Amino acid sequence: MSRPIPTEDRFSVLPDPILSYSQRDGTNYIWLSVLTLYFEDKTFQNFTFFCDFVPFVFLSRDITLPLQSFHLNCSKASGLHSHDIDQFVYAAAQRGRIESINLEIAIRVNFNLPPLNDLSQVVVNFPLLKTLHLSCLRFKRVKDLLNLLLGCPVLEELKAESLQINNSRWILSQGKFVLREKMQSLPRFIRANITKIMPRHLMFLITWFCMEEAQVLRVELDAKLCCNYHWPKINNLTNMELILKHNHCEKWKWLLEILECCPKLLNLTIHEDHRNAEEVVYNWIDPIIVPKCLSTQLRTCLLNDHKSSTESGLQFAKYIMQNSKVLNTMTIKSTSSRNRKAKYQMLLKLASLPRASTTCKFVFD
């Protein structure tokens, strides 16, 4: 079936800067006026051609034209170097109206900023950037990452995957309150997605990112390693998704401590991703103080691939239902290879647990 030909006038609804540029130079080059630039090296036979093509596009555009989104996707086969990243990001930075940057680099490369003596200096200027995605980047200094963020004053969402930060001991000399004070310059930062990062880097990234206005957090945690770290208080967090790698005897206790740090949490999702792992013996003890979010806030709880067949897992689910007074939905999903009869028995056991909320609906998948 042939694709229908659109009858509406799409050209006249383009932004004024693009219209004026197209009328001046002709519609044959309207591709130079698009609002989104998406570069992927897989479409090039030679990575050298790719590295030449990206700056060619930037140089061919009128620097006064708006650019809303810049996406750079480099595969493992590419011969990417740090100066390439710097060059591409610098070119995007010159277009001050950019709202979204997505850097997906399949190989680890350095992201370098010029040496700084004063953290108040901002070397990157993205005054309208709302979304920033970083993947497989190595920051030689903590200050480089911090200054990158400080250069995005209206940043709303950050996705950080497989980041590495060298010389992370610098943070110890600054103090938590100094860093948090500097991050106050990002008042609109509300969403963070942090995965595949070493625990020592992960915890102070969460401390940085999860300020007073943070509302949505998705984070991957190695329970075996992260249980030894203190979780920062996130006063306005309403949605939290935790992906738990490996297992630890203090896992459930640690999760309750995390809930205590999120007094306004409305929606909680926990994914257990430690298949084929040996069960860890854990003696459950109900905490003396019930997390505030359970008493007054939590509306939905999803336990995905939950190990509810174990005593500790069952006790955690039981504790959530017994103490969540306004809980609307408790969902437990199990992807285990148990037979249907065993799953049915598990369902009966969980469904019979007492609930603090009279409106709580129990869902087992």
Q: What is the pLDDT of residues 201-232, one digit of tens each?
A: 787 778 776 666 789 999 998 877 777 778 88
pLDDT, greater one: 54 or 117: 54
pLDDT at 270: 93
Alpha-carbon dihedral of residues 236, 191, 196, 91, nearest 10 degrees?
-140
What letter would DSSP give residue 280?
Answer: P
List the single range of 79-83, 192-196, 198-202, 233-237 with lowest mean pLDDT.
Answer: 79-83
pLDDT, greater one: 112 or 19: 112
pLDDT, greater one: 234 or 339: 234
Q: How sure is the predictor about 329, in pLDDT bands with cuts at 50, 70 and 90?
A: very high
> Which token pair is 111?
């992201």
- Residue 9 above 50 pLDDT? no
235-267 pLDDT tens trace: 999 999 999 887 777 888 889 999 999 999 999
pTM given for the model: 0.77
pLDDT at 120: 36
pLDDT at 11: 45
Beta bridge partners of 211: none
The one-letter code for the residue type at 249 is C
Q: String of b and e for 238-253 (b: at least 16 CB within 10 Å)?
A: bbbbbbbbbbbeebbb
pLDDT, greater one: 261 or 19: 261
Give dist(CA 19, CA 12) in Å, integer: 8
Query: ∠ CA(228), CA(233), CA(99), 5° rounding?
Result: 110
- Residue 173 above 90 pLDDT? no
Q: How sure is the predictor about 14, in pLDDT bands with cuts at 50, 70 and 90?
A: very low
pLDDT at 166: 73
Give dist(CA 131, CA 46) in Å, integer: 30
- Max mean pLDDT among 7-11, 108-112, 307-311 falls in 108-112
Q: Are 61 and 94 in contact (CB under 8 A)?
A: no
SS3 74: strand
Q: How sure is the predictor about 122, in pLDDT bands with cuts at 50, 70 and 90?
A: very low
Alpha-carbon dihedral of residues 12, 15, 18, 22, nearest 10 degrees?
10
pLDDT, greater one: 13 or 99: 99
